[in-house]
Structure 1
Amino acid sequence: MHKPMNKYIELILLIVFSFSVGYSQPVNDECESAIILENVDDWCSADGQFNNINATESLLGAPDCWDASTHDVWFRFTATATAVNIFVSGAGNEGNLKKPMVALYVDNGCYGTFYQKKCKLDFNNSNSVELTDAALIVGESYLIRVDGQSGNMGTFKICIKNFNPPVEPGQDCATAALLCDKSPFVVKYVSGAGADPDETTNTCISEEKQTTWFKWVAKNNGTLTFTLTPIQITDDLDFVVFELPNGYDDCSGKQSLRCNATFGGNYAPCGPKTGLDLLSTDLEENYNCDAGEDGFVKYIDMQQGHAYALVVNNWSASGNGFSIEFGGTGEFEGPEPDFVFDPPTGLRCEDSIQITDVTDYKLGSIVERKWTFGRDASPQLRQGDGPYKVFYDSYGWKSVTLTVKSDKGCVSTKVKDIWMEPCCEDLPVNERLKIMVDSVVNPICAGDANGIITVSGIRGDPYYRFSIQDTNFNYNPIFNNLSQGIYKVYIVDKKGCRDSIYVDIVDPEKLIADAGPDQTLDLGDHTFMNGDYFPKNYNVSQQWFPPYNMVDSTDFDTEVFPYNTTTYTLRVTQDSTGCVAEDQMTISVKTNRLVRIPNVFTPNGDGMNDMFTAYNLKAATGIDEMRIYDRWGELIYDAKDIPLGDPSKGWDGTFKGKKVLPGVYVYLFMIRFLDDKVIPYAGDITVLR
């Protein structure tokens, strides 16, 4: 019965160690295997979903602000907005990673120079860290790197919010940020109660500690809901929604519509989130999260043209901000940025395109326009009315972003995508883009997935990206973790020119172990196991498992004395590579427990047949107990731990020093065998004189 397996001894040891602590190496241990995060507008993992336990150090070196990098793991996302907030927590129920660190990079395909954008670490021992960057290019890919300070390992939760930020909010109603639309966003930090710390008087908020104010004008009649989530989950957020009867620029006479000061935080019954929802019926919740309260109050019905204000108060005064996400059927009044492409389609890279602003805003004027034209654009950034002629030096989808600011101070953003066709001309063969194979590393052991293909490109436009699936191209020309097979490797340059080549990954000759055929024997017998291996040109060492009851467990041919049916594994290890092959054979042991017990004896002192005992035929090792009873059931002899077949041991036919009468007596033997089992044997013995 053959069950061959191939793997590294080192890998076996690593797996054994990893399972001993409950975790294997994370799948995103290396940059090349970064976990792709989708739908990053407002996304959080589950508590403790990710970890850096047993992750290995990247060869990149530590980011600027980290103390070191020993157990880093990687994530990847594509920006759909211009700002991002990344939150990593090992605090409370969210994980156990102590003092996490996070860094943000431009995605270079994990090859060549890494461009670090931001890095942060946990300065205040909260076991959480938060990073915000407001200079992303929509459509670009970015890398997130997570580790723990001082070599810490553990589980963690990660949240990412990709958003277009509004204007900076004020600390008073008069300086509130005017919201143009219901896009979600993040407020990174909060501090103080502003110049007027008594604006929540006569509401459920008794004291302003760290306040943030927003205003908006309803574009239509409709409902409004929102959810506030603290960046630091233990923070207690309170809020009041006001109506501003005198317009958005006049806070006098403001009227409280909803108020919530319920005790929050991750460890409170109401949880860390708060806001307005469609299910609640209460208009106000005070302290302590009383019965029936959940941290949310009833939605509001906005009236078209009416102005409203929201104040968010961080009662915990931690200085940490929050995120907000809006819902409901009502919308906010504001400019609706828009622009057109000329021509709208049919463009090739190296063509120029005119981009013209067509923003509509009937309630005021646009005082500022900021443009981002995307990857490989020239120009890439502009401020002004336009129109702009833009030249793209590469093919593919391009994301153009326009952010406008109105005379009333609100900010709104629009993103549009346009496809640039490849501009690869029909060049002579000796001038075309060509892919070259630099090296091939075949798997060390047959069946392993550790082959490596390294390629490069010549000619074309040296902005090369590579793939072995004709999808998910990146800048890394090294393909790892490959098993035996024929791979088609692709290259594409920035103009869209392409080439491909087939590369073989070939296994070495497979190491095979042969433990020999299965065998059957009686308990107490012995046999020989005759192992072997192929191919014979390999230098190997060998070991039998389990190594019990055998002469030499490191010899292919060894004698074995099994007491039970046993499956033996022959493990053969190639000396030069550590490759391992295994095979199994089973020795079935028949438990024929044979002993010889006489049925008559003559204790007359003639030296022949004077003692009664049991005799071993093969597998018995001793008599645990021997009893003799007379015909009335009286115990007349009892002995323990006596050897089998010893003529000097056993019953001599006496009771209390006197010879018993001839006749039939009953015996009971408790006999122990090689497999340590004790079996009773009972019967009649006849005494003759």
Structure 2
Amino acid sequence: TLFPDTLTCTKASLTLSVNTNLAGGIYAWQGPGGFMSSEPNPVISAGGLYTLTLTDANGCPKTDAVFIATDTLSPVLSVSGGTISCVKSEIELTATSPTVGLLYNWYDENGLFATGAQVSVSAPGNYQVEAVAPNGCLATAVAEVAADLTPPDLSASGGALTCDHPTLALAAQSGTAGVLFLWQGPNGFESDSPNPIVSLAGQYVLKGTAPNGCVDSVTVEVTADFEAPHLQITAPEALSCARETVILDATNSDSGFDFVFFWETNDGHFSEPPTTLAPAVDQPGHYFLTIINTKNGCTASAGMEVEYDETGLAGATWSLRPPTCHGDRDGEIKIDAVTGGTPPYLYKMDGGDFGASPLFTGLSGGKHSLEIEDVNGCRLSTEIELPEGTIVLFSLTGDPADRVIQLGDSIAFHLEVNLAPDELDHIVWSPLPENCEACPDPVFKPLETTAYSLEIAAKNGCLVQTDFLVRVLRERPVFVPNAFSPNGDGVNDRLTVYGGPAVRQILRFVVFDRWGAVMFSKTGLPSGNEMAGWDGETGHQAAAPGIYSWMAEVEYIDGAKEVLSGDVMLIR
């Protein structure tokens, strides 16, 4: 009997075994690759079908066969590496294979350090895993473990807080992509902005976290310079008539290239442009100095009041008598009292000479300059407004406004005066109006272009005069119809002469037939009176229709006379 077996990676050769009760005999083995052997138990290293022919002593052969299997397939093996970082200090290496029953051995540079399909490592390097299959065959693979422990590239800058810049932006920079910033500073300050705005001095720490989790930090300093300039003004003496200017001394204040200053006043006056820290002033009031430190923009301000010593001339009171009329020079100013100074006093008006008299006469209305000097030579100048005298103002409006009328028409005026009735003395029109003598609403009816005058007088004697012209157009419109129909219908039944207000009367109106016979004649006709005209009859009989001639003598209100003639058609 032959026994089958299997060649493996751990059993590269085996001895063919036979179980027989035959002692002795001749063995003849045959197998793959031309294998032949006469040994009872030959050693083989190749799988396949082996045949044994055993011949006994009688020369009788007996044959049997056995199949030797081969199992030398190495397992399939894979393994992955990884990267150690600041947030991942260990990498788990896992070996995988579709072959079951494998035994795993892990090797580093120092040799075997672990078994099993999974292992954790914390150092970078190459790790080899060996897988041993049940058939003893081996497979190896290498897992590469890298290390990324580089901190981020980080830089930052702070700055200085000043009065000009009470806040500033911190600046964070990094050459590492994807860095996350975190600022921390005084009073629990935190910000994840790369450029946060801060307003407190102190140390600020910038932490930068790279995508690999590695962190670095830098510290910057934010300083503060809010120191105001030193400013000191020495109080000056008071102004007086004997001390016309004083110095505002601020020379103990900060000055130099790093400082600028300026003076101001609302109610005082600098005797010269205040370009130094010790300007001169010549009027009492409030003065202010501001100094600016150009390095930090901080300012300091202070004020100083300059007073006037009232023991000098301080003021005066006076009484006024205005001029009688506007433009007159009979007004008066009398100085009643002087405040301050030492008497006796001298007085001067409008640039004249000083004199002892406090009374000034012969003045017109308006502004007058007064100057007073005391015995010590102290002077006081002021301005006095003397009211104007009475002024008579009026307005004169007329209808028609252009003051042009036709002969026979009238024109009405309206007068307005700025004086109350009890202030008026008289109103005089010349020539006199038609309706009144001194009224404010006169009516004029001139027969020719006439110049009129108006005088208005106040009770104090102030008066105003004016002249105005009324133009009279001497047009004499006279009209006689060129046809009439005396048929008793009440329309155009009579022929008469029509004239405007310039016609006084029709001295004579005569109508002739075409042979010159008088058909109608009348004298002293009123202008435009139809009932006084011709009724189309002659000798109590109706005149025949036809063309008739007429003649009219007209007298105008200015005494002028005119003879007019024409034709008229009588229609029945």
Which structure has the higher relative contact order (CA within 8 Å, separation 6+)?
A: 1
- Looking at CA atoms only, which structure, 1 or 2, has the larger radius of gyration? 2
TM-score clears 0.5: no
More strand by share: 2
